[in-house]
A and B are shown apart, each in its own frame.
Chain A
């Protein structure tokens, strides 16, 4: 967007491994996120796509230090997050909107308490009156009436609940919001309302988004740049238009061609690249390139070494050994 190339968030070599019990006294490491690096520029929307289990949610959560990173650095506005107080301060500027508007709101709290909770945690307002005013202001930002403030979450529809979650994420005037599948639980007609609201809030408040979703049409609509993940690794990162028009990684190609287009004529002529097989379990990730077991172009080299995530043209990163040959 207009603010040129100043990264607000930089992520370098982020890793998150979970220990999974595989039997009595036996554990195995699950590499949910493995060596992921990217940056998000101020005011832009970075879309993060991939299939379930590829680690996109874990990237969002580890980035906010909701999970402690196994390794790697997160740099916010040029400052490396190190100490606990760094992280607490960072959380005033970076918040999250969750996928499920049903389970992410406490059923015992009123809407105003839900939205006001971040204000209480960070002790932002000294007087009750100022706190109330702020809550009502937030509610009007997301299109909720002030009379809703004393109601409970279960009284609202899915779309309205998601608005409550968004109001909560805006409470501390953040710069950066991780949106984790914020519209996938909503009906089509409501989805568009919420997407528009995200865009309006962004232009009004200068927000920066990491927009995680599996619906590729939604991501294409909202994102400036898009990153594709597969089995804990980032396989491609490029400008949204570029990645849709000319994806370079074989996984991105098949993922994008598999999206059902709501247009019968295009759908009939569309040549889909249907991948064989299932996604391997991240517990038994293949050696070398994680995609090689389903990749139509895989060679021996792919089994031996992990491809480097390198820049092939300006701003277009791909992790594939054979990127030059297959394109």
Chain B
């Protein structure tokens, strides 16, 4: 059984302008000790997916359907008391901006100890020792001194280390990292990613890595989910997604990346602008920007088909290719696998 099973998760925000389906039928599984990357543009629903798993949505947001099972136990509808034992204890999250997610009025030490005191039966002295140990683990120099300092006294990279220490203090099974290095410089990003990798190997936890940076995904992840407009358009192992992308959006993303070999040539951008979630098209959400869009793409959302055992994609082009090479058959207008 997978550690985390998400099935047909739907989360909407009810705004004055109407219902925004931020997450629209997301399903995936996460095995113990694996690193799963979720990539997508801003507004694609990657963060909301994570917040829905943790049930820490803003008041306007509601989970309207689906299931999230942690170790076989259903979390949706389980109530706030159950979630309190899950958050920070079994599933932890680190946020993009370490400055706003640390409380500026408390010392690093008291914020670290808070989580430990809440979730374990350690007393204050033991919690202090554990907090110092955690700071050492994430390579914060002079941990005893840092315990007495306030967040503003630390650099951005140091703050993100403190966030990681805090998230790992109770040895969670799953660490959700929501754009953990986006606010950091490249050399500091390399330090943090290296740290996360070594901690992951050491502690054997699973990581959900949310990012828009395909470079970070390539470096960190075993499996990748590509999201667009609240739905998963493609998922599979990192190698499959990078070397054998099947969805037109993923292909477009890979093509549009600048690199050493594109110098002196024009990039191949995805045309159009990101989708307005209030005015979703009837068919495939990516169809209005897709160069390969067919009639059916505008009319009907594509089903998810298996490309191979490690790879699924929801694109009509992919269905078409499979029909062409005889993997799936068409019977009376219906697609049968």
Task: Give A residues with C-beta under 8 Å from B.
Answer: 51-52, 157, 159-160, 187-193, 195-196, 199-200, 214, 216-218, 220-223, 240-241, 244, 254-255, 257-268, 270, 272, 274-275, 278-279
Q: Which of A195, A240, A244, A263 sits near B218, CB closer than 8 Å?
A: A263
Question: What residues of chain B lie closer than 8 Å to A187, measured between beta carbons?
Answer: 41-42, 212, 274
Contact between chains at A199 and B266 (CB < 8 Å)? yes
Question: What residues of chain B lie closer than 8 Å to A266, measured between beta carbons?
Answer: 218
Looking at the assembled complex, report how far the CB atom of A200 sits from the nearest CB atom of chain B, in whole angstroms. 8
When C-beta atoms are compared, the residue in chain B nearest to A200 turns out to be B266
**A interface: dominant SS:** helix
Near A by CB (< 8 A), chain B positions 255-313 give: 256-260, 262-263, 266-271, 273-274, 289
A-B CB contact pairs (8 Å), 25 listed: A157-B273, A187-B212, A187-B274, A188-B41, A189-B252, A189-B274, A192-B267, A192-B270, A193-B271, A196-B266, A218-B258, A220-B258, A220-B263, A221-B258, A223-B263, A240-B263, A258-B187, A259-B186, A261-B215, A261-B259, A262-B218, A262-B254, A264-B218, A264-B219, A264-B242
Contact between chains at A262 and B189 (CB < 8 Å)? no
Query: How many angstroms from the CA of A241 to the CA of B215 in the assembled complex?
Result: 20
Question: What residues of chain A lie closer than 8 Å to B252, measured between beta carbons?
Answer: 189
- The 6 closest A-B CB pairs, nearest first, are A260-B215, A221-B258, A192-B269, A258-B190, A192-B256, A51-B185
Question: What residues of chain A lie closer than 8 Å to B257, measured between beta carbons?
Answer: 188, 192, 217, 262
Question: What residues of chain B lie closer than 8 Å to A263, measured between beta carbons?
Answer: 218, 242
Contact between chains at A188 and B218 (CB < 8 Å)? no
Looking at the assembled complex, report how far the CB atom of B203 sits from the nearest CB atom of chain A, in whole angstroms. 20
Query: How many angstroms from the CA of A264 to the CA of B240 in the assembled complex?
Result: 10
Query: How many angstroms from the CA of A188 to the CA of B254 in the assembled complex?
Result: 10
Question: What residues of chain A lie closer than 8 Å to B214, measured between beta carbons?
Answer: 188, 262
When C-beta atoms are compared, the residue in chain B nearest to A183 turns out to be B258
Contact between chains at A193 and B218 (CB < 8 Å)? no
Question: What residues of chain A lie closer than 8 Å to B212, measured between beta carbons?
Answer: 187-188
B142-181: contact bitstring with A at CB < 8 Å (1 yes, 0 no)? 0000000000000101100000000000000000000000
Question: What residues of chain A lie closer than 8 Å to B238, measured between beta carbons?
Answer: 264
* From B213, B214, B215, B254, residue with most partner A Cβ within 10 Å: B215
Given known pairs A188-B41, A264-B218, the reply for A221 and B263 (CB within 8 Å) is yes
Q: Which of A159, A223, A244, A278 sits near B273, CB closer than 8 Å?
A: A159
Query: How many angstroms from the CA of A193 to the CA of B254 in the assembled complex?
Result: 14
> Residues of B within 8 Å of A, CB-based: how many?
45
Contact between chains at B186 and A51 (CB < 8 Å)? yes
Contact between chains at A262 and B187 (CB < 8 Å)? no
When C-beta atoms are compared, the residue in chain B nearest to A240 turns out to be B263
Looking at the assembled complex, report how far the CB atom of B184 sits from the nearest CB atom of chain A, in whole angstroms. 9
Contact between chains at A189 and B41 (CB < 8 Å)? yes
Query: How many angstroms from the CA of A78 to the CA of B316 in the assembled complex?
Result: 59
Query: How many angstroms from the CA of A222 to the CA of B42 in the assembled complex?
Result: 24
Query: How many angstroms from the CA of A259 to the CA of B216 in the assembled complex?
Result: 9
When C-beta atoms are compared, the residue in chain B nearest to A217 turns out to be B258
Q: Is B329 an interface residue (CB 8 A)?
A: no
Number of A-B contacts (CB under 8 A): 135
Near A by CB (< 8 A), chain B positions 32-54 give: 41-42
Q: Is B196 an interface residue (CB 8 A)?
A: no
When C-beta atoms are compared, the residue in chain A nearest to B42 turns out to be A187
Q: Is B97 an interface residue (CB 8 A)?
A: no
Q: Which of B157, B186, B254, B268 sits near A255, CB closer than 8 Å?
A: B186
Given known pairs A220-B258, A254-B187, A259-B186, the reply for A267 and B266 (CB within 8 Å) is no
Q: Is B3 an interface residue (CB 8 A)?
A: no
When C-beta atoms are compared, the residue in chain A nearest to B139 turns out to be A276
Question: What residues of chain B lie closer than 8 Å to A189, measured between beta carbons?
Answer: 41, 252-253, 256, 269-270, 274, 289
Q: Is B27 an interface residue (CB 8 A)?
A: no
Looking at the assembled complex, report how far the CB atom of A194 sits from the nearest CB atom of chain B, in whole angstroms. 8
Contact between chains at A221 and B267 (CB < 8 Å)? yes
Contact between chains at A262 and B242 (CB < 8 Å)? yes
Question: What residues of chain B lie closer than 8 Å to A160, measured between beta carbons?
Answer: 273
Q: Is B75 an interface residue (CB 8 A)?
A: no
Looking at the assembled complex, report how far the CB atom of B230 sits from the nearest CB atom of chain A, in whole angstroms. 15
When C-beta atoms are compared, the residue in chain A nearest to B193 turns out to be A260
Q: Which of A188, A199, A258, A274 sits near B256, CB closer than 8 Å?
A: A188
Question: What residues of chain B lie closer than 8 Å to A159, measured between beta carbons?
Answer: 273
Contact between chains at B155 and A267 (CB < 8 Å)? no
Looking at the assembled complex, report how far the CB atom of A268 sits from the nearest CB atom of chain B, in whole angstroms. 8
Question: What residues of chain B lie closer than 8 Å to A262, measured between beta carbons?
Answer: 214-215, 217-218, 242, 254, 257, 259
Q: Which of A196, A223, A265, A278 sits near B267, CB closer than 8 Å?
A: A196
Contact between chains at B273 and A220 (CB < 8 Å)? no
Looking at the assembled complex, report how far the CB atom of A281 sits from the nearest CB atom of chain B, in whole angstroms. 9
Q: Is B19 an interface residue (CB 8 A)?
A: no
Q: Is B29 an interface residue (CB 8 A)?
A: no
Contact between chains at A221 and B262 (CB < 8 Å)? yes
When C-beta atoms are compared, the residue in chain B nearest to A194 turns out to be B269
Q: Is B8 an interface residue (CB 8 A)?
A: no
Contact between chains at B258 and A222 (CB < 8 Å)? yes
When C-beta atoms are compared, the residue in chain B nearest to A49 turns out to be B186
Question: What residues of chain B lie closer than 8 Å to A193, measured between beta carbons?
Answer: 269-271
Question: What residues of chain B lie closer than 8 Å to A200, measured between beta carbons?
Answer: 266
Looking at the assembled complex, report how far the CB atom of B234 sits from the nearest CB atom of chain A, in whole angstroms. 15
Question: What residues of chain A lie closer than 8 Å to B185, measured between beta carbons?
Answer: 51-52, 214, 279
Query: How many angstroms from the CA of A223 to the CA of B260 in the assembled complex?
Result: 11
Query: How many angstroms from the CA of A244 to the CA of B214 in the assembled complex?
Result: 20
Looking at the assembled complex, report how far the CB atom of B253 sits from the nearest CB atom of chain A, in whole angstroms. 6
Given contacts A221-B260, A262-B257, 14 further A-B contacts (CB under 8 A): A157-B274, A187-B212, A189-B269, A192-B268, A195-B258, A217-B257, A221-B258, A258-B190, A260-B189, A261-B259, A262-B215, A262-B217, A264-B242, A272-B190
